[in-house]
Amino acid sequence: MQNPASVSAIARARRTVSRPAPSATPPLDRIAFLGTAQGAKVSGESIQVQSLCWPMVPTAWSDLTHAWQRLRELRSESPYASTPDSRSSWVAASAPQLATPFRGTTAEESSVAALLTRTPIRIAISLITTRRSGEPAAPSGSWQQALSACLAIYHEFVRWPARRPCTLFVCRHDEEVTDRQLSNAFHQCRARTPEATWLASAQARVWSESIEPLALELAHLVAASVLRHQLEPSEPNAIFDTVLTKLAPDPSGLRFGTSGRKPVTAKKR
């Protein structure tokens, strides 16, 4: 198992969108990570989940890496360490590195949830549901709409005095269309919210190296946990329960931004 990618290596990402690459990597507490998850209900509704995770203290992302490395060492030293299961759980599918120390155990989800609990971050979630009647909505429209909702939540957060906004937003590389969507979404958000002066200088970058920062995996795991809750609300979901404790207030007054569609409620168990 290779070591997780260092957040400081973001400057070496092979693909940059929205604006030219900065001359230097910003401090760790000025970097936020974007995660996505998509699915469909049996009824035919499609669901687009966008997550935005940002640090609350300068050492948040490095603390996550150090805690994970220590847990991996303890698991490998334990006489009860089990052989990793070759089958992929939903946790491992979204965050393969984060799940590694706990694979082959019955505590994979709860252990990763505990790791998230100890990581001082805030989270914005946008959930877009599209009813399938006739031609489906363009995926790019839903993606940009979901990201815009997350940035609106973040804007409300950084409006408070003494809060330094993130200057770099990193997402996982998927397809070429995703790169264009990211660039277009940031451009549209700048045009719609000129009062968000921090957004004018913010940069968006797509991570395309094979080994991702743990923080990027965490952002995708957050989105996946919300999607899982929407698709299987009666199933235990320790990660989703932890996400609820870290949500930033949504200015729309909803638990998740749904951009005028049917509100989504999420109650703690």
The domain that holds 75 is classified in CATH as 3.30.420
Structural domain includes residue 232: yes
* pLDDT, position 36: 92
Q: What is the pLDDT of residue 35?
A: 94
Q: Give me the pLDDT at residue 102, please.
A: 87
pLDDT in tens, 190-213: 888 888 899 988 988 888 888 999
Q: How confident is the model at residue 256 (pLDDT cuts 50, 70, 90)?
A: low
Inter-helix orientation angle 214-231/108-117, to 10°? 120
Residue 265 lies in a domain: no
pLDDT of residue 19: 44
pTM, entire model: 0.83
CA distance 269 to 255: 15
Q: Is residue 24 part of a domain?
A: yes
In a domain, 252, yes or no: no
Instruction: Tell whether the model's pLDDT for residue 20 goes beyond 80.
Output: no
In a domain, 151, yes or no: yes
Query: How many independent structural domains does the chain possess?
Result: 1
* Average pLDDT of span 9-15: 46
Residues 216-251: tens digit of each pLDDT:
999 999 999 999 999 999 999 999 999 999 999 877
pLDDT at 95: 94
Residue 49 structural domain: 7-245
**What pLDDT digit, counting tens, does each position of 150-176 carry?**
999 999 999 888 889 999 999 988 765
Domain assignment present for 264: no
Q: Is there a domain that residue 37 lies in?
A: yes
Does any domain span residue 2?
no
* DSSP H stretches of helix in the chain: 60-77, 90-94, 96-99, 108-117, 139-158, 176-192, 197-201, 214-231, 238-245
